């Protein structure tokens, strides 16, 4: 277990270039399993979740080369197993994305209980319903997990997702891309990473229309080809660095994420008085006098992303007045932020989805527990703004989504140290 020691109270300044979108990387890697031809993915983020999914693919028979840290070459000439390594599956919620490609290539899939953030609270019911609509049937497995079979192959279908789940939509896309006949996915997620997956599948030969809308139609090709694809920059990572600049009173320029995606993150932050601009695929945050806003609520795309709610809650501790933060989708992110109370933050947890933050308050350093990826990064931001020393652990959880975190913080002027 690794601990990050932080000496707070210093404004951070400089420039950060974000890497490829974490939420695009995993479905794109899973899609490579659909074809026996070579696929090349560039601008791949150098994060732990990507490493784990690549290990899973190798265990299923994929040949993987990494000519440089941001490029992955994958060829799955044959898929040698229908059961990904259960130990690795238990570390990564994104492993659920392997179900569709395994059913397509092997006619069966056995998956242990996926891990990651909040594994007990995040079900895969939407995924299973979509696969069942295309003809997959449940089969018994030993221990906790899921077993599915489609011995005669998947069949295209019209399906309505019970929620606009991002990974649920991606699971449906990966399965429908290989199903016989035409499929229609309604109540589909519209996030940029879903669009990114559709673009990649189209490059592999799949006929797709409607990406970025609630209805996506697709039909499998006669034969899958290989494809080369560059990931878009990670707008959540860009927003995270913007909050780090704002909460420390610094000035940071973030490059690499598309301006259209940055607008979704920047608009609510401007309501809090944050001086920022986004154009030419860069986000610039300047020292600001922060003020409370009546309410910040997460929403489906293009609403304010749930992945940013922990960070904006921490930012609200430095805003003048009272802000209600409402994350209608997830519960435990707000519970994790109760640790801020011991840092002198003025918080009132209304229920698992709503928290009232009063500010500004001068935070005090302390030991903190990074219980999930996003709240872990939010607690690091709080520690950077706090008086005195803080220690955040385990750092490995945050590194699942933020590459070279210690090195980047140091380059911006933070006093941090990695402790084993």
Residues acting as catalytic residues: 117
- Are 363 and 323 within 8 A, CB to CB? no
Give the number of C-alpha atoms closer than 13 A to the C-alpha of residue 127, restricted to the C-beta side. 24
206 Cβ contact list (under 8 Å, min separation 6):
177, 218, 219, 220, 221, 224
Q: Which residue has the tokens 């265990």?
A: 59
User: Residue holding tokens 């007990």?
Assistant: 120
> Token pair 């420390």 is at which residue?
248
Tokens representing 200 are 């990649």
Using alpha carbons, select from 53, 1, 189 the residue that is nearest to residue 62: 53
Distance CA 69, CA 131 (A): 34
As a whole number of angstroms, the distance between CA 70 and CA 68 comes to 6
Whether the Cβ atoms of residue 291 and residue 319 lie closer than 8 Å to each other: yes
Residue 232 DSSP class: P
Picking from 54, 108, 104, the residue whose alpha carbon sits closest to that of residue 81 is 108
CB 322 within 8 A of CB 355: no
Distance of alpha carbon 418 from alpha carbon 335, whole angstroms: 26
Contacts of 86 (CB under 8 A, 6+ apart): 112, 145
Residue in this structure with the two tokens 């607008």, named with its chain if needed: 263
In contact, 52 and 91? CB cutoff 8 Å: yes
Tell me whether strands 367-369 and 389-393 are parallel, antiparallel or unpaired.
parallel
d(CA 21, CA 26): 9
304 contacts: CB under 8 Å, gap ≥ 6: 264, 265, 267, 268, 296, 297, 298, 312
Residue 56 CA to residue 54 CA, distance in Å, equals 5
Residue 21's CB is within 10 A of a number of other CB atoms, namely 28
């Amino acid at each position: 277990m690794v601990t990050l020691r932080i000496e707070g109270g210093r404004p951070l300044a400089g420039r950060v270039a974000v890497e490829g979108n974490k939420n695009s990387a995993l479905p794109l890697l899973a899609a490579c399993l659909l074809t026996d031809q070579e696929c090349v993915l560039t601008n791949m983020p150098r994060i732990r979740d990507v490493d784990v999914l690549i290990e899973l693919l190798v265990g299923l028979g994929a040949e993987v080369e990494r000519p440089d840290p941001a490029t992955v070459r994958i060829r799955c000439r044959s898929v040698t197993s229908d059961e990904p390594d259960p130990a690795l599956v238990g570390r990564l919620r994104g492993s659920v994305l392997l179900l569709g490609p395994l059913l397509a290539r092997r006619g069966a899939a056995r998956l242990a209980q996926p891990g990651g953030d909040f594994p007990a609270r995040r079900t895969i019911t939407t995924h299973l319903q979509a696969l069942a609509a295309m003809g997959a049937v449940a089969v018994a497995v030993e221990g906790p997990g899921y077993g599915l079979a489609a011995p005669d192959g998947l069949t295209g279908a019209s399906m309505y997702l019970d929620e606009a789940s991002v990974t649920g939509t991606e699971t449906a896309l990966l399965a429908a891309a290989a199903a016989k006949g035409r499929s229609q996915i309604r109540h589909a997620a519209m996030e940029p990473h879903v669009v990114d997956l559709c673009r990649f599948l189209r490059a592999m030969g799949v006929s797709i229309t409607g990406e970025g809308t609630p209805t996506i139609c697709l039909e499998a090709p006669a034969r899958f080809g290989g494809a080369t694809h560059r990931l878009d920059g990670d707008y959540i990572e860009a927003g995270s660095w913007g909050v780090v600049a704002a909460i420390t009173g610094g000035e940071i320029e973030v490059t690499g994420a598309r301006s259209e995606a940055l607008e979704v993150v920047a608009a609510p932050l401007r309501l809090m008085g944050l001086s920022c601009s986004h154009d030419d695929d860069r986000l610039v945050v300047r020292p600001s006098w922060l003020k409370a806003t009546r309410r910040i609520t997460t929403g489906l795309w293009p609403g304010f992303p749930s992945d940013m709610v922990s960070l904006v809650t921490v930012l609200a501790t430095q805003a003048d007045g009272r802000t209600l933060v409402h994350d209608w989708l997830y519960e435990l992110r707000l519970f994790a932020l109760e640790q801020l109370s011991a840092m002198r933050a003025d918080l009132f947890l209304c229920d698992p989805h709503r928290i009232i933050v009063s500010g500004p308050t001068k935070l005090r350093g302390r030991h903190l527990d990074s219980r999930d990826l996003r709240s872990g990064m939010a607690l690091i931001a709080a520690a950077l703004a706090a008086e005195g020393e803080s220690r955040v652990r385990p750092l490995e959880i945050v590194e699942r989504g933020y590459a070279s975190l210690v090195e980047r913080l140091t380059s911006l002027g933070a006093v941090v140290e990695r402790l084993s």
